[in-house]
Structure 1
Amino acid sequence: MSNSPKRSLLSNIPLRWVLVVPFVLQIVGAVGLVSYLSYRSGQTALENMAHQVSNQASSRVRDRLNISLQNQNQAILLSQRAIQKRTLNLKDFEQMQNHFWQQINLSLSLSSIYFANENGEMIGYGRVLSQEAIEQTKQLTGENLTLGESVLIETTSQDLAHRKYYLVDDQGKAKQLYGNLPIDNRTTIWYRAGKAAQQLTWSPIYVFKDAPTLGINIVAPIKDEAGNFQGVLSSSIRLTAIGTFLSQLNFSPSGQAFIIDRAGDLVATSTLETPYIQVKQGEPLRLSASQSKDIRTKLVADRLQQQYGNLNQIQTKIRLKIVTEGNTLFVEVAPYQDDFGLDWLLVTVIPDSDFITEIQTNAKWTILLCGLTLLAIIAIGVITARWITRPILKLNQVSEAIAKGDWQEPLPEDQTIAELKALSVSFNLMATQVHQSFDRVETELLENKHFLQQITDHSAQILYILDPNVWVNLYINRQSIDILGYTPEEFQQGGSQFLQSILHPDDIPLLLRNMDYWQTAKDDEVLTTEYRMRHKNGDWVWLRSREVVFARNEHHQASKILGTAQDISNRKQIEIALAEAKETAEAANKAKSEFLANMSHELRTPMNGVLGMVQILSTTKLTEQQQSFVKTIRDSGDALLTVINDILDFSKIESGMLEIEPSNFVLEDVIRSVCTLLHSQAIDKQIDLQYAISPVIPTTIFGDHTRLRQILLNIVGNAIKFTQYGQVSISVNSRLLSQPNQYELSFEIADTGIGITGDRIDKLFQPFTQADASISRKYGGTGLGLSISKSLVELMGGTIWVKSGNQIGGNPPSIWRLQLNNSSVSHGSTFYFTIGVSTSSVTEQPLGFLLEQMMIDNKMAEKFPLRILLVEDNKVNQMVANLMLEQLGYCADVANNGLEAVQAVQSQSYDLIMMDLQMPEMDGLTAARLIRSKLMSQARIIAMTADATPEDRQICLEAGMDDYISKPIDMQEIMQLVSTTK
């Protein structure tokens, strides 16, 4: 027998390691902490440096923009004032030409200035300010202009459809025509912007018609004294010049800068990327920063869109830190605005790799110093440990001698270390006392043996020692007489044959199982067995034994088993009675479920007629009051259906038959469908219904979307019901679990409603229970929704709870409870629940939920020509389905039962068969099987029944049907059905 205790993972550690390792750990911990703090300080310095560089770059860009744009503004303002003072005559184009020539010569940075009137005439000058303009002019006209050269731009009354470009002499007079472009000035973007403006303003950014480049105009509307519009003064600027300046900033080795407008479109970028998209036909399209080919530009634009949504929210300078693969980007976004409507965002992007070299060098030196310090400490520790452990090893040798019975060798007491000397003296004294104690122990051992014998003889249970190899009792106490009527001697003398003779025949396999079990059992494993043995008087006695390995042979096989046997006959009789009661209860529960299913069918059948007629009635011309009546009928019917579904679900939950049916789906589609369904209720109460989903959640997940949608409809619907005004919000976050591809989704539904007070919150998730009776009377409801939601959440591996004020109901996680003390009391209630989902590697199309609301089209039969057979025994339901189909332009054949349907398919080919299930003469399932197997028809068969359980749907599919819709049927379902039938 082996009774050795379980070895600890920290047992048998040498003393020298005990002395050395703590020193090493302390030094490593201290140095590591210093290294970490140094690293953090370096990171902070890096961020500060990046922000300083970004700020300087933004200031330089702002100064350049101010200079460039103000020159254009001042030139236009001067000309506008000259016109207002009548020193400049709009009808005297020669005077206008001379005036513009003087202005463009006075300001060398002025790119252009011109005037166009309502007749389409135009006069002005432009200047070549970039190599890009030279190349574009040469490509369009073949003329090779020089940098800084001025050109005359003119549209005359003789040719209003063309804009002409002239080389000029020193006086600004035309000397050579080099460009003639078909442009009507009155149709240009800048002219229309000026005409629509009331004062000096900037035009929208657009692609120049005379050159493939992006630009913007400062425009001023010109009116006479009567306020009549005369024309537009304008000056244009190429935005590529700003991009060139950005590319030459050199504020960081690999930093970038770009400018976007409030719509998120690129204005200019240091990467010199073309900020527009050329299309085959029509005007070029502005390039959104989110569509940029530059990865950093796209990353920053996407982050701004995610964080702010509308870029108009950015009114002050902001800073962002974006972590990408192997790099961190420091981003600064600064608004740029002027007095004339310009509203841009200046963005600078600096990667941390531009500054990280010095930090990495410091880290290497820190690691080297840590290593040297560690080696020094280990050396000191080893020397110290050896000095201390040498006397202790001697102590160990003497201890081993005493363990072997050699009591004559005392421990030397001449130790250098005072503590070890005192230990030697104490050890010698202890050895003497131990020797004396052995004699006392032997005496006490005999007394204890007698004591144990008394315990076994008077125990209420049978105690025995068994040889598992031959199944013979080596020992059994006297209790065997009281429980089984046999003496210990009868057990021991009878051997294994005796045990088998009194064991119940049905329990003999247990004997064989136990014999195999003890061949591999561990010392601490307990085997519990319940079996029957025949009493000496012939009665069967139920016993419950607990057995454990008591001893092992030299091959480490179990040689003795220690066990106890307890009489459990009375308990077994009670268990049998309980089992019978359980069967009775299950039968009653099954009968209840069948009753509820039948009631659901019987209620849905007339409801199909009611709601179907309401749908048809709603398509007719009704007064506003009549429309209100129709809506009330439909809402009441939908409410009744919800009650029916809740009762069916609750019945399944009680019977343990509700199962989860996971599949791939898009989480946002589920949440959006819930919001769409409840949108009208929220609008009626002027409630803002919104949702937010964490971007880290995978788009497609694997779970039960139907049950998740049911939970959200219950909770969000309640939130809207109990909220008079304000908002209801849905937030979703996720946490990656330890198992691969497993996530925990956390949902938070918050409202600004009436809240839950007192002890009502503790009853919230109980079935048929609401906050209290008064709430039920005021707001309605069965009290099943939250109870069903709680069961569904638990089936999906999650938990649900609610917080209202400082009150909590449900079962929140312990981590969440710790956050309660730090939260402020707010109005309304917040429901939380978690569920477990996964990401699936199965490449199947995720389920969609937002089917667009189709308009009823009486020409749908022309778009989707189908021959339809309606199989329905109920006359009202026949009329409802026929009327719905007629509204879509279809004329369906009608069969009153399955037999007529089979006969109809024999004589006619159909594209779509709408089949009821419960019908006289032949049901829908039998008819579907015959149509598929005997008639080999490929028509699409759709089950149309009042049975509403998933089991019914599976039965329909197994019978050969293609799909399943439950009554009451919906016009949208019918339209979806015919539009997807081929």
Structure 2
Amino acid sequence: MADKSITQQQLLAENAELRARLDEAEDTLRAIRSGEVDALIVSGVGGEQIFTLKGADQSYRVLIEEMNEGALTLTAEGVILYANRSFAGMLRMPLEKVLGSSIHTWIAPDSQTILQALLSKGVAEKRRDQLDLAASDGTRVPVYLSVNNLLADGMPDSFCLVATDLTEQKRGDAIVASDKLTRELLAVANQTRRELLSVVEDQRRAEESLRQLNAELENKVLARTADLEQANMDILRDMRKLKQTEDALRVSSLKYQMLFDSSRDALMTLTPPSWKFTGANQATLQLFGASSVAEFTALGPWDVSPERQPDGRPSSEKAQEMIATAMREGSFFFEWEHQHIGGQPFAADVLLTRMNLGENVFLQATVRDISEQVRIKADLEQARHDAEAANQAKSAFLASMSHEIRTPMNGVIGMIDVLQQSSLKPAQVEMANIIHDSAYSLLAIINDILDFSKIEAGKLQIDSLPMSVAEVVEGACETIDHMALKKNVELTLFTDPAIPAQVIGDPGRLRQILINLANNAIKFSSGQARQGKVSVRAVLVENSSHSIPVRPELVEGLDGSTGSPRTIDGGLEPVTLEFRVTDNGIGMDEATQARLFTAFTQADSSTTRIYGGTGLGLAISGQLANIMGGAITVHSEPGKGSLFSVRLSFALPTEKPDADAASSLVAGLSCLVVGDAESLADDLAAYLVHAGAMVERSPDIAAAHLRIASHPPGLCIVVIDTAAANPQLATSLLDGLRAAARARPNLDVRFVAIGRGQRREPRLEDADLVVVDGNALARKALLTAVAIAAGRAKQPDREALPDMVGARRAVPLSREEVRRQGRLILVAEDNEINQKVILQQLALLGQTADIANNGREALELWQSGDYAVLLADLHMPEMDGYELTAAIRAAETGKARKPIIAFTANALKGEVEHCLAIGMDDYLSKPVQLVNLKAMLEKWLPVAATAGNAGEQPRSPHDNAGHVPGFHPGYIAAAPVPVDVNVLKKLVGDDEEIIRDFLHDFRLSAEKIAVELRTACAAGQAAAAGALAHKLKSSARSVGALALGELCAAMEQAGKAGDMKALAVLLPGFEQELASVEGFLEGY
């Protein structure tokens, strides 16, 4: 029993001693936490162990060495104990010479007091300032210096300094450096935050472990199984771990604070639930204009923001939304309008980042002033807006100028058109032609400027329409053919027959490109000692479905040589075509080629002086090619000419176009094509092969002789390119071939001679000879010539040449007569000059019209119901053409619709679509040519109700037996001379030799037809007389014998009606007029 009591007492004593030691351990732990203990000596079974709790964390040494900022430690006396390489670099001094030296050695004299003040301030005070280092080479290095104390025994015994070099800070570099440093600081700060959180967690776990250990010790004491020695060691181990954790937390916190304070971006912290600022660095104070951290942390985000944000939302409401988003997402970047404490607003980029410190959650805000970027962006936006406004103003101005310029131009061109239909003396004809050409040149310049403006503004539209490439190329060449002849330039064309009959594209813009390029080629190849030559070619380059060329390219060199074409089977895949314009003109060097497609420039100033032009043509063509998905390339050498190539791709229509009738006319024919490499022979052969003819080639006349001698019996068509403008020369070349053919009785040889000149239609010169000129020779013209030679087609009547407007010089009917016929025209036009022009043109066409001075007046007149068609200008006072059309269409509900034709000088694209959309039926652009006006009226003006409704025409000396239906003697009275040669000149040009040739042929033909006509009338053969009159009618009109043409037209109608009485009445007038024409021709 006693032993048991003793044992119990011992246990109680041991327990009391253990509790005392536990209390001592807890006191020690508290001392460690407070930083009062530097080292800990632990005695145990293994002897004493000393644990050093104070020391530098080597894990950050490498980071300090790699810092761009200078870092160093000093003794209390200012001796440098440690410095990194960055600090030594600032001093331009090796690191080993810096260590051990006095810090005062490296401070500029006028900065010594700043350093001393930094070293003398208390631990709790902010110790940062800017001063200058004195480098070893004598230069001053401005730095931003931060000072911190290192404590020993609770007292500062040394200093830690961080120096930031400010020398190379420029605005752009500073921003970049700031971004980089900020990223580094934020990275380190984030790392520090993670370390801090880890340390806190470790501390919490250590404390939890300590509590558990205490419980276990008490349990062991109570259970009398505790091992006191082991318990002491466990407590000390946990205390050491806890101390290490606390040290790491303290170092990390210091590092984060240093980075936070030294950041050049404004950094601040916000904590819930008030979300007011709880911390801010120096950059924040500078940005917002706060004098101290205390002043700033008394505010919230809405206190440094205007009442409302730019979107109109209250700043306080929107700030809470931004904060909530950052807390939910972890981070959130947005633009914000802040304001200085003084009230001045500024734009900022804000990054909110959620941070967790144990159980504490807060936000770190990074704010950067972007006022300058916003200003620049606003300036750019304003500049863009101003540029768009300027473009719109320019487009409106050009449209207005177009209208204003075209209005007087309409007067000039319209009246010249009328004047040219009258009888003029040769000198007057020349002057009228000069006025006409000059007016259209000016009009072309206006159109170029408008096109360039639309291209520059990005408003040019490209159409997608089915088109024939051959027709576009031939039409373009036909347009410039007269210019080429005038400048003595030989213009030839070739359209690859392998090109599909139709493609999808913009025929107008393609034609514009070709005319621009060909005009330049003609301009720069004329006026030389050698014959100017220009070639326009369209060839099939490749079929996109194969991705490889499907035919050899027909490359025409500067010498005019060509390759041999071959055909391919077409498909529905897009095709690539190349358009080539070649000339033998002055050529260009590379420097000139480099600026060819720049607007308003030419080769040099001398080019402009010699050749003229605005310099817009090529610029517009280049832009059009680009918009159409292609490009223009140029190859040229000075003195050797130029080659312009335009490569474009076209889609194909799904519907197959009708076959070419002209091609079937020569299918199966045996043809021999004669000509050397510089002639058109290769192109002629390509046309014939594609049309189904069997073609052989002979390079010269000698080879052709041999081939004719060995040719199989039957029909043979010899096509020879004489390359000569003299028909007699062509005939002489053929004489030998004809002799060779005559030696072969069983061989029927016929000839097609390709000369040079103005004959654009085939002409049967002899029973075995058809002549056509190679200038701008269309494929259809060649095939027709061969078909005529083979007897498969008839020669086109020369009377079938286009009817000239001048042939209709009628005396207009009275207004009442026209109204009864339902053909009265109403013209709505406010310009007095334009009124006179249109009335003159209509009178020349035998039409009658009323004039309305504005849209409102026109509406009142139109409501009378007297008018068959309305020509309406679009821009008029009181009521414009659009409003007038809308009013008329609204009033027509339930009534018959009558045609309205727009009549304006506004040339902007889209006008036609607008006119049609509001109810107009067609469109005429001023200045209007007579031929276009005539075609428009023929399209829309109704024919007279009945022949009986037509009012009687003014009687003339030819109307001796009363009225003859269909005959208008007024036409004869209006003709001042029997033959107006100007009409023929408009058809064939001004070449007097050609004119005489045509007039001579007409006289012979007229004499022959007149004999046959008299015979038919005498025999009572009305139908035959009518047919003969028809044959003479158009040829008379074409040469300018207008009165004779009208008499023939009346006799034609009488013959068709079987009215011999009318023929008998008309015949004397016909004889009289024919005698007048013959008398005129004899004296011409």
Q: Which has the larger radius of gyration?
A: 2
Query: What TM-score do the two structures reach when normalised by structure 2?
Result: 0.39
Query: What TM-score do the two structures reach when normalised by structure 1?
Result: 0.43
